[in-house]
Amino acid sequence: MTMTMGTVDESQRTLYPYVTGSSVVAIKFKDGILMAADMGGSYGSTLRYKNIERLKPIGKHSLLGASGEISDFQEILRYLDELILYDNMWDDGNSLGPKEVHNYLTRVMYNRRNKFNPLWNSLILGGVKNGQKYLGTVNMIGINYEDNHVATGLGNHLARPILREEWHEDLTFEEGVKLLEKCMRVLLYRDRSAVNKIQISKITEEGATVFPPFSLKTYWEFAAFKNPTAGAEGSW
């Protein structure tokens, strides 16, 4: 016997993420789905990159937003490019809708987690097909669900309570954007890895648009912002 039972070949896995993106927030609105994310990429806690697109259209009917490891997101995009390419190559008038893409991602994420080599992301998938709006999420361990509004990372704690209060089924585009901006502003103030360069993306029956990045107006002159440690002295 050269090998003892139970030996495993050496292999490299993602044990922790390197460059990460922060929260994505997405809502259903009257005509489809709206999604927002900033363009920051953190190397650990260093805000290393400032121009990373984390909202991408997938095929004709879907929109994908990602937080977590940027390189894993790029790999997921490669999977999806292939998926959509092969779907188009049938050239038979059928196409994968947001529900199909979301379920596919669910299988990929859960499968990788079971290999103890997860894709280190939280993903949001939204889209419209045949008048049917779809919004769902899946994370690195394969947890997935659909909802009228979803968020990843700190957005779950900071944005969703706002959405639960203020979201309703027939938000117009303008109201939807306003609501997302409100969420992103709270995240910008309270999430240390958020960056003030934000993209909003829209998908409707007509297709997906990723709008050019913009910055939010902020006001940092509150006393608590000026001297944040006033009430909590550190040991140094």
Partner 1 sequence: MFRNQYDTDVTTWSPAGRLFQVEYAMEAVKQGSAAIGLRSKTHVVLACVNKTNSELASHQKKIFKVDEHIGVAIAGLTADGRVLSRYMRSECINYSYTYESPLPVGRLVVQLADKAQVCTQRSWKRPYGVGLLVAGLDESGAHLYYNCPSGNYFEYQAFAIGSRSQAAKTYLERRFDNFNSSSREELIKDALIATRESLQGEKLRSSVCTIAVIGVGEPFHILDQETVQKLIDEFEIVKEDDVPPAEPQPEGEQDAAADQGAGADQGGGDAAASEGAAPMDI
Catalytic-role residue among 7, 14, 106, 229: 14
Which positions from 41 to 80 touch partner 1 by CB under 8 A, shown as an x/- string?
A: ----------------------------------------
**SS3 string of 138-196?**
EECCCCEEECCEEECCCHHHHCHHHHHHHCCCCCCHHHHHHHHHHHHHHHHHHCCCCCC
User: Which residue of 16, 90, 219, 236 would you call a contact of partner 1, by CB under 8 A?
Assistant: 90
| Region at 230 (left for phi over 0; alpha for psi -120 to 50; beta for the rest) | alpha
User: Which residue of 96, 125, 180, 200 would you call a contact of partner 1, by CB under 8 A?
Assistant: 96
User: Which residue of 50, 107, 168, 190 would you call a contact of partner 1, by CB under 8 A?
Assistant: 107
Nearest to partner 1 of 70, 101 (CB atom): 101
Which letter does DSSP use for residue 212 in this model? P
The verdict on 104 binding partner 1 (CB under 8 A) reads: yes
14 belongs to the catalytic site: yes
Q: How far is the CB of 136 from partner 1 (least distance, A)?
A: 11
Burial class from Cβ neighbours inside 10 Å (0-12, 13-18, 19+) for residue 58 reads buried
Task: List binders of partner 1 among 126-145 (CB under 8 A).
Answer: 130
The verdict on 89 binding partner 1 (CB under 8 A) reads: no
For residue 199, give the H/E element and its range: strand 198-204
Dihedral angle, C-alpha 121, 196, 194, 190, nearest 10 ° = -140
| CA 109, chain centre distance (Å) | 14
Nearest to partner 1 of 105, 186 (CB atom): 105
The verdict on 100 binding partner 1 (CB under 8 A) reads: yes
The verdict on 222 binding partner 1 (CB under 8 A) reads: no
The verdict on 169 binding partner 1 (CB under 8 A) reads: no
Give the binding site for partner 1 (CB under 8 A): 90, 92-94, 96-97, 99-100, 103-104, 107, 130
Just list the catalytic residues: 14
